[in-house]
Amino acid sequence: MVRARAVGILAVSLVAGLTAARLAPAAEPAGSEVLDLLQVPPDQRRRLVVGEVLSYPVTEFSERELAVGLAMFVQAPLGRVAEYLASGQLIARDNTISEFGIMAEPTGTDPLPGSPLVKGERDEAGNLLDASPGTRFNLSAAEIATLRALRDTTASVSQPGMAEKVWDTYRGLLRQRLQAYQQGGLASLAPYTRSGGGITDPAAELRTAIADVDRVGRDGPELRDTLLRFPAAPSPRHLHRFYWLKRRVQRRPDLSLLHQIVAPGPGPAVHVERYFYVGHSYNTGQVITGAFAYLDGTVVFSTSRFSTDEVLGVGNQLKRSIGRGQLRDEMRKRLEGIRASLTRPASAESP
How remote is the C-alpha of 104 from its chain's centroid? 16
pTM of the model: 0.89
Q: Which residues of 160-180 are buried (b: 16+ CB within 10 A; e: fewer)?
A: eebbeebbbbbbbbbbbbbbb
CATH of domain 3-106+204-343: 3.30.530.20
**Domain locations along the chain:** 3-106+204-343, 119-197
Specify the pLDDT at position 292.
94
Q: Give the contacts of 248 (CB within 8 A, at least 6 positions apart).
A: 96, 98, 120, 254
Residue 48: partners with Cβ closer than 8 Å, 6 or more residues away: 40, 54, 71, 72, 73, 299
pLDDT in tens, 185-244: 999 999 999 999 999 999 999 999 999 999 998 889 999 999 999 999 889 999 999 999
Q: What is the pLDDT of residues 148-189, one digit of tens each?
A: 999 888 767 778 788 889 999 999 999 999 999 999 999 999
Q: What is the per-residue pLDDT across 293-345, written as a single tens digit (0 to 9) for each? A: 999 999 999 999 999 999 998 999 999 999 999 999 999 999 999 999 998 76
**Cα–Cα dist 177/255, whole Å:** 12
